[in-house]
Structure 1
Amino acid sequence: MAQASLSVEERSDRVHIVLNRPESRNSIDQGMIDELHAVCAKLESGPKVLVISGAGGTFASGADIRQMIDRGRTEALAGINTTLFQRIAALPMPVIAAIDGYALGGGAELAYACDFRIATTRAKIGNPEAGLGIIAGAGATWRLPELVGEPVAKEILLAGRVLTAADALELRLVSEVVEPAGLLDAADALADRILNYDPDALMATKRALAAPRSAHPQVDLDEQAILFESDAKRARMTAFLNKRGQNKKTAEGEE
């Protein structure tokens, strides 16, 4: 399904979206934001794993400066990008950012909002907002320190450090680095590993991870109480016990 700013491929268990404004290195404009909100609405009502990538050898170069330059106090307080990235972070099922080339500014903040990040060898990740007279105001000032630690976050946000793919892997900002041609295959392989798990358990885990520290351990107990009553829990545990029993019999037969 082609849209103005996105290409969307929906499968039975996942959705692939491609940020598709290569003429502006996939800068995030209002049209793209609106289309991403529409994708979020669909995934909130029908949860699936989401994979986000960019067209043309770039993930996203940041917010569209042509629109940003005319935004003022009202738009800043409205949190145009912040609201979207919060919604992506809160999607029920895991979200994977597949980063090729530049992920800068708002593009980097979009990647930070995802649960997983995979990069190509030519990825570059940074937040040059202060050079444009603004801050990285859509999550980087608090998500990035959580992801890479405060000292490195300050290098990126205050001194313009741009992370290479090797840097990002060493810092665990990305979980894997691959050649560009293998990026989407790697994202699908990660999605396959995720989808080996029970969807309800995945969604419960995401909710528990997102809960404030003060909510634990009660939030864990509440989520577990629901899962303990589920048919999936009993079926998966029964299958586990049966498989373990079969493996034990096989091992005994080989002795």
Structure 2
Amino acid sequence: MASSLTLTDAPGRLVAALNRPEARNAIDRRMVDELHAVCADLERSPRTLILTGSDGVFASGADIAELRERRRDDALAGINSTLFARIAGLPMPVIAALDGYALGGGAELAFAADFRLGTPRLRIGNPETGLGILPAAGATWRLKELVGEPLALEILLAGRILSAEEALDARLITEIHAPEDLLPAAHALADRIARQDPLAVRITKSVFHAPREAHPMIDQLAQSILFESDAKFDRMQRFLDRKKGS
């Protein structure tokens, strides 16, 4: 059976392209399992993940034929939510490069990323209530953190689908690029991340996602680790040397 992902390694990053063209990249159990394997790789060998689609589609949603057969125990198992939480918790940043449809589970996968870039033909939202279910893989809480409660409720309860410009205005995505420029733009962002100290990036991501009540203690503890790192001394010395030479 063919893989539902196309994986490409590059320096400091891994590109995972969803590749089920016959189903508009709908997320099925096989894709979930393969994305778990990607996570296991990135947990062992931390690097930036670029998630993208294929054939002008990111992910049209969950596989409805498969979803139709799921029952209570499947919901309680959190098949998609467990995966998306694992993706959100990866050590290094996750970039979602979104083209065409990013709907339902596809939108929730995008919400789990740290960065979202889009194309002019992006359409993103959560139409689950129209199918008699709710978006249970992160949208009910991640979306209001990303765009605010009023717009999140319109998306979740009234089925509003955002265009690329609307998503940009809401800061759900941060950049719009022509389809042929989307993946290069994601790589350019990954390049900027790669220029930072990897340990500082990992720790900053963890601190950023810590609960409010953990601050400022967690910031101070994290900084105490970085203050002892070789990279801190080396990078600061290079900065001072450049300043002295200018």
Instruction: Report the Cα offset of residue 12 of structure 1.
Output: 2.5
The reply to whether residue 14 of structure 1 matches residue 13 of structure 2 is yes
Could you tell me which residue of structure 2 aligns to residue 42 of structure 1?
Answer: 41
Could you tell me which residue of structure 2 aligns to residue 192 of structure 1?
Answer: 191
Q: Which one-letter code corresponds to 1:184 in the other structure?
A: L
Identity %: 60
The reply to whether residue 71 of structure 1 matches residue 62 of structure 2 is no
In 2: Cα distance, 1:23 partner to 1:59 partner: 13
| CA RMSD across the alignment | 1.0
Could you tell me which residue of structure 2 aligns to residue 60 of structure 1?
Answer: 59
Q: Which one-letter code corresponds to 2:91 in the other structure?
A: P
Instruction: Report the Cα offset of residue 208 of structure 1.
Output: 0.3
In 2: Cα distance, 1:120 partner to 1:43 partner: 27
The reply to whether residue 27 of structure 1 matches residue 42 of structure 2 is no
Residues 86-139 of structure 1: per-residue CA shift (max 9 Å, x gap): 000000000000000000000000000000000001000010000000001000
TM-score (norm 2): 0.99
Helix, strand or coil for the counterpart of 2:185? helix
Could you tell me which residue of structure 2 aligns to residue 179 of structure 1?
Answer: 178
Q: Which one-letter code corresponds to 1:169 in the other structure?
A: L
In 1: Cα distance, 2:210 partner to 2:171 partner: 22
Could you tell me which residue of structure 2 aligns to residue 164 of structure 1?
Answer: 163
In 2: Cα distance, 1:3 partner to 1:16 partner: 18
Helix, strand or coil for the counterpart of 1:125? strand
In 2: Cα distance, 1:246 partner to 1:151 partner: 52
**Runs of 4+ residues over 6 Å off in structure 1:** none
The reply to whether residue 116 of structure 1 matches residue 115 of structure 2 is yes
Could you tell me which residue of structure 2 aligns to residue 89 of structure 1?
Answer: 88
In 2: Cα distance, 1:74 partner to 1:60 partner: 25
Could you tell me which residue of structure 1 aligns to residue 153 of structure 2?
Answer: 154
Q: Which one-letter code corresponds to 1:31 in the other structure?
A: R
Query: 5+ residue gaps in structure 1?
Result: 248-255
Could you tell me which residue of structure 2 aligns to residue 250 of structure 1?
Answer: none
Residues 32-70 of structure 1: per-residue CA shift (max 9 Å, x gap): 000000000000010000000001100001110111111
In 1: Cα distance, 2:110 partner to 2:203 partner: 22
Instruction: Report the Cα offset of residue 195 of structure 1.
Output: 1.2
Helix, strand or coil for the counterpart of 1:10? strand
Q: Which one-letter code corresponds to 1:28 in the other structure?
A: I
* Count of matched residue positions in the alignment of Structure 1 and Structure 2: 246
Instruction: Report the Cα offset of residue 3 of structure 1.
Output: 5.5
- Is the deviation greater in 89-98 or in 187-196? 187-196
Could you tell me which residue of structure 1 aligns to residue 201 of structure 2?
Answer: 202
In 1: Cα distance, 2:173 partner to 2:206 partner: 22
Could you tell me which residue of structure 2 aligns to residue 253 of structure 1?
Answer: none
In structure 2, the CA distance between the partners of 1:10 and 1:68, relative to structure 1 (3 Å rule), is same
Q: Which one-letter code corresponds to 1:81 in the other structure?
A: N
Helix, strand or coil for the counterpart of 1:121? coil
Q: Report the structure number with the largest CA radius of gyration.
A: 1
Helix, strand or coil for the counterpart of 2:26? coil
Instruction: Report the Cα offset of residue 172 of structure 1.
Output: 0.8
